[in-house]
Amino acid sequence: MVKVLSYEDGIAAVYGGAILGGGGGGLLEEGLKLVEEIFAAGEPQLVDITELDQEDLVACVALVGAPSAVDQYISGEQLCWSYRQMNKHYEQRLKGIITNENGASTTINGWLQSVLLNVPVVDAPCNGRAHPTGIMGSLNLHEQQDYQSVQFYAGGKDDFAVQGFVEGNLQNTAKTARQASILAGGLVGVTRNPVTIDYLQKHGAPNAITMAIELGYRFLKGQTFEEKLANVVKHLNGTHIVSGKVTNFSLTKENGFDVGKLSVGDYHLTFWNEYMTLSKEGQLQSKFPDLIMTFDIEKMTPVPSASIQEGMHVAVIHVDQSLLTLSSTMQNEALLQEIDEVIKNVL
């Protein structure tokens, strides 16, 4: 059954997605701005994965780049261009859109295309939380023998505007799209890697969009920050770790990623777009893909790593990975090892 999404669903999806973003997945303000654009254009459609045939093809749409980039820009036409080109490439066989992950902006990836192109969004993201690299959102396709990735990308404004197509192995195509995001001023919209519904059920995160919407409603129901945080922790079966002032904050941009660290009380966090580690007194307490997330206490909002500032008062929560809806890539040790190489330079 196809569900027509409401404006309130969109707001809830942004807030719930921001929390499940775990520090990444786009900026809250950008997600809320996109909701206004989506529902000014019409009402997107959400379809349960069980409504489609096992051999139906769907393509992933994603925003690739560094969330803190100040020159980022993507238009609705650029988003639609990449999907149209992919559909032409596959002889008009696509039956729907999936997003790559949950996040403030990424949970609603594809909603604008759904309205403008009259194509349903399938409630089965590539991952139920946000992740830093394109390959982590590629459903372990890189392990399929002789698999060739196809990606169409577009983004940027004026002199930064780029669009293009790349085909090859997943690592190279993902890196090409990220390089394009740098040239575009920080962000590109990508349509990539069509898969069958059968494959998506086995490797993706069915119902994760609905989960983000439900979480967002729970957060927004709270009247005070304490109520909002308690609602989130209860809904996710998580833990409120610490509240306090941000100290020792640093952020650098490396190869299109935000990389850095911060401290809250006795706890220390590192991030690579998303929060990667949580430690106390030199002892590791938690590591990605566990969900580590920060909240701005004064503004009463979830706050990603790109929006953190020195001296900000935040609350930190933790949710064990076993309690999340995750892609098969989140158990892929080869992909997770890359985190150690990045994070060891900021510890």
- Per-residue H/E/C for 252-300: EEECCEEEEEEEECCEEEEEECEEEEEEECCEEEEECCCEEEEEECCCC
| Rounded (to 5) percent helix, strand, coil in the chain | 35, 30, 30
CA 326 to each of CA 10, 207, 272, 289: distance values in angstroms, whole numbers, following the listed order: 22, 11, 18, 9
Number of domains in the chain: 2
**Do the domain assignments include residue 96?**
yes
Tell whether the model's pLDDT for residue 66 goes beyond 70: no
**Do the domain assignments include residue 219?**
no
Which of 173, 208, 243 is at the close of a domain? 208
Q: Same structural domain for residues 276 and 323?
A: yes
**Do the domain assignments include residue 235?**
yes
Q: CATH number of the domain that 200 lies in?
A: 3.40.1610.10
Tell whether the model's pLDDT for residue 315 goes beyond 90: yes
CA 212 to each of CA 21, 109, 274: distance values in angstroms, whole numbers, following the listed order: 10, 13, 17
Report the pLDDT value the prediction gives residue 51, as an integer from 0 to 100: 96
Question: Using CA atoms, how far apart are residues 127 and 208, in angstroms rounded to an integer?
Answer: 8
Tell whether the model's pLDDT for residue 345 goes beyond 80: no
Q: Same structural domain for residues 192 and 299?
A: no
Q: Output the average pLDDT for the chain.
A: 94
pLDDT digits (tens, 9 = 90+) for 81-122: 999 999 999 999 999 999 999 999 999 999 999 999 999 999
Q: Same structural domain for residues 167 and 26?
A: yes
Q: Same structural domain for residues 21 and 107?
A: yes
Report the pLDDT value the prediction gives residue 131, as an integer from 0 to 100: 95
* Average pLDDT rounded to a whole number, residues 112-136: 95
Report the pLDDT value the prediction gives residue 38, as an integer from 0 to 100: 96
Tell whether the model's pLDDT for residue 229 goes beyond 80: yes
Question: Using CA atoms, how far apart are residues 35 and 141, in angstroms rounded to an integer?
Answer: 31
**Do the domain assignments include residue 6?**
yes
Q: Same structural domain for residues 245 and 155?
A: no
Tell whether the model's pLDDT for residue 68 goes beyond 70: no
Structure tokens at 219: 């957060």
Q: Same structural domain for residues 249 and 101?
A: no
3-state secondary structure of 131: coil
Q: Which domain holds residue 104?
A: 2-208
Tell whether the model's pLDDT for residue 67 goes beyond 80: no
**Do the domain assignments include residue 273?**
yes
Q: What is the DSSP letter of 322?
A: G
Question: Using CA atoms, how far apart are residues 17 and 11, in angstroms rounded to an integer?
Answer: 10
**Do the domain assignments include residue 145?**
yes
CA 150 to each of CA 25, 59, 114: distance values in angstroms, whole numbers, following the listed order: 22, 10, 21
What's the half-sphere exposure (Cβ side, CA atoms, 13 Å) at 138? 28
Instruction: Give percent above pLDDT 90 in the chain.
Output: 85
Q: Same structural domain for residues 10 and 157?
A: yes
pLDDT digits (tens, 9 = 90+) for 260-314: 999 999 999 999 999 999 999 989 999 999 999 999 999 999 999 999 999 999 9
- Considering only residues 170 and 158, tell me which one the structure prediction assigns the higher pLDDT: 158
**Do the domain assignments include residue 98?**
yes
Q: Same structural domain for residues 140 and 11?
A: yes
- As a three-state string, the secondary structure of 66-107 is CCCCCCCCCCHHHHHHHHHHHHHHCCCCEEEEEECCCCCCCC
* Average pLDDT rounded to a whole number, residues 244-266: 92
Q: pTM of the predicted model, to two decimals?
A: 0.92
Question: Using CA atoms, how far apart are residues 89 and 100, in angstroms rounded to an integer?
Answer: 20
* Average pLDDT rounded to a whole number, residues 15-28: 96
Tell whether the model's pLDDT for residue 72 goes beyond 90: no
Question: Using CA atoms, how far apart are residues 136 and 127, in angstroms rounded to an integer?
Answer: 8
What's the half-sphere exposure (Cβ side, CA atoms, 13 Å) at 18? 29
Report the pLDDT value the prediction gives residue 170, as an integer from 0 to 100: 86
3-state secondary structure of 193: strand
- Considering only residues 201 and 69, tell me which one the structure prediction assigns the higher pLDDT: 201
Which of 176, 208, 240 is at the close of a domain? 208
Bridge partners (DSSP) of residue 167 are 150
**Do the domain assignments include residue 215?**
no
Q: Same structural domain for residues 183 and 289?
A: no
Q: Same structural domain for residues 32 and 177?
A: yes
Label residue 341 by pLDDT band (50, 70, 90).
Answer: confident
3-state secondary structure of 119: coil
Report the pLDDT value the prediction gives residue 255, as an integer from 0 to 100: 75
Tell whether the model's pLDDT for residue 150 goes beyond 80: yes
Report the pLDDT value the prediction gives residue 80, as an integer from 0 to 100: 95
Q: Same structural domain for residues 125 and 56?
A: yes
Which of 208, 234, 261 is at the close of a domain? 208
Tell whether the model's pLDDT for residue 347 goes beyond 70: no
pLDDT digits (tens, 9 = 90+) for 172-202: 998 899 899 999 999 899 999 999 999 999 9
- Considering only residues 344 and 318, tell me which one the structure prediction assigns the higher pLDDT: 318
Q: Same structural domain for residues 172 and 239?
A: no
Report the pLDDT value the prediction gives residue 332, as an integer from 0 to 100: 95
- Could you check whether the bond before residue 289 is cis, i.e. omega within 30 degrees of 0? yes
